[in-house]
Amino acid sequence: KARLGFKNVGKSKIFSPQHQLPSAPANFVGRKEALAKLEKQLRSAQKAGATISGKHAGLQGMGGVGKTAFATVLAHKLKDYYPDAQIYINLRGSDAEHRPPVAPTEAMQNIIHALYPEVKLPEELDKLLPIYNGIISAAGRVMLFLDNVAGANQVKPLLPAPNCLLLVTSRSHFSLPGLIQKNIDCLSSEGSQKLLLKLASRIKGNEVEAAEHCGHLPLALEIF
């Protein structure tokens, strides 16, 4: 199967649905050690992927802590190891528009159609699952980035073959076979000040107070 991606055709480019990673965040700061450690673990070929959750002040999975940004940076660091496809899906575990979470069957269909857009698929999970497993096994080295997951039951049917890597972000804390659990907290005081100065250099001199006011929460810092 030909690998697509962005291909040059004269001066134009054609986008392939097989390569869907969001752009790496321009203002990502901090978390260097945590990122390096998890990258090393996932390169070891002993783990099938990772679930990345957040924590803050004892509130598990708090939104805005930077789970998606962390996972996106990690995905870009690992994408060359999974060149055949990088597929991203927002599973809407928590949705600002109050849409329901994406059902496993719908997510499975989206993944298959990213690899084979024209294939006709059944709606029933028991009929779809063997097709999914066969296609993923034959697809080569594939990265699945499942963002904003509601919980383990949404991901279990989507666990890929050993040739693939699965990255999961969620506000919930759960474990699945072969996946590393990684919890990330708010930025350090130094990291949050650095982010604020990157976003708005005019606040220099007040960055300590501003970072504390935002609770060192990345989302709050970005909208400050």
pLDDT the model gives residue 105:
97
pLDDT in tens, 107-124: 999 999 999 999 999 999
pLDDT band at 220 (very low <50, low <70, confident <90, very high): low
pLDDT in tens, 30-72: 788 888 999 998 987 667 899 888 754 444 445 677 888 889 9
pLDDT the model gives residue 152:
94
pLDDT in tens, 151-166: 999 999 999 888 899 9
**CA torsion angle for 7, 3, 79, 129 (degrees, to 10)?**
130
pLDDT the model gives residue 153:
95
- Give 22-27 contacts, CB < 8 A, sequence gap 24+: 22/68, 22/72, 22/88, 23/72, 24/72, 24/73, 24/76, 25/69, 25/72, 25/73, 27/195, 27/198, 27/199, 27/222
Look at residues 70, 87, 34, 65 and name the one whose alpha carbon lies nearest to residue 171.
Answer: 65
Per-residue DSSP letter, 92: -
> Identity (one letter) of the amino acid at 76?
H
What's the whole-number average pLDDT of the chain? 81
Strand, helix or coil at 159? coil
pLDDT band at 146 (very low <50, low <70, confident <90, very high): very high
List of residues 6+ apart from 59 with CB closer than 8 A: none
Whole-number Cα distances in Å, 131 to 58, 124, 143 = 41, 11, 18
- Residue listed under structure tokens 């673990």: 41
pLDDT band at 207 (very low <50, low <70, confident <90, very high): low
pLDDT the model gives residue 196:
66
pLDDT band at 10 (very low <50, low <70, confident <90, very high): very low
pLDDT band at 218 (very low <50, low <70, confident <90, very high): low
Average pLDDT over residues 158-179: 91
Burial class (CB in 10 A: 0-12, 13-18, 19+), 1: exposed
- The string over 157-184, giving b where at least 16 C-beta atoms fall within 10 Å of a residue's C-beta and e elsewhere, is bbbbbeebbbbbbbbeebebeebbebeb
pLDDT the model gives residue 175:
87
